[in-house]
Homo-oligomer: A and B are copies of this chain.
């Protein structure tokens, strides 16, 4: 029986929306940006800083890793954030039924047998339209933001997990939300628990 659902998602695919709706329907806890607050508490770093770097932490300054942002213990700040996220996600999973969006949770929880890993992607046009509507962007801005955000997520995921983001074998279930629709995606995930 799966009681923890991790959702990885392309930007604009509605993955977060699907996760939140699913959590509501199932009466599961929902963890997304609220993880940031906990990371802030654990690390003493500001929420703003973590919000900017948390999910993309290790995709920045990869090559300057040894020279900047080191803590007293000799770890980079990015490592500190990732370690805090790892601890928090493991603790949250222990607490019981939940949906966790992003933050390499699929990989962090890889040794548990009660986790269902889902990847949500979509067609470029539908994703751009969603970003335009949600964030008041032009189509051009939406396309740039989409490309940039997904690139950072992919690099960060590769660095933290040694796996390739969006490759089907890393997930129990991958769905194109533009083709299937959000409601069908939600129903499918429910049917897998």
Chain A residues near B (Cβ < 8 Å): 116, 119, 121, 166-169, 171-176, 179-180, 184, 187-188, 191-192
Bound-complex Cα distance A157 to B12 (A): 28
Question: How far apart are A162's CB and chain B's nearest CB, in angstroms?
Answer: 17
Contacts of A167 in B (CB 8 A): 166-168
Instruction: Assess the A173–B180 pair: CB atoms within 8 A.
Output: yes
Bound together, the chains give a CA A184 to CA B192 distance in angstroms of 7
Which residues from B are CB-within-8-Å of A121?
168-169
Please, which residues of chain B bring their CB within 8 A of the CB of A119?
168, 174
Closest chain B residue to A187 by CB distance?
A: B191
Q: Looking at the complex, which one of B166, B169, B175, B187 makes contact with A173 (CB distance below 8 Å)?
A: B175
Contact of A174 among B171, B179, B192 (CB under 8 A): B171
By the criterion CB–CB under 8 Å, are A172 and B179 in contact? yes
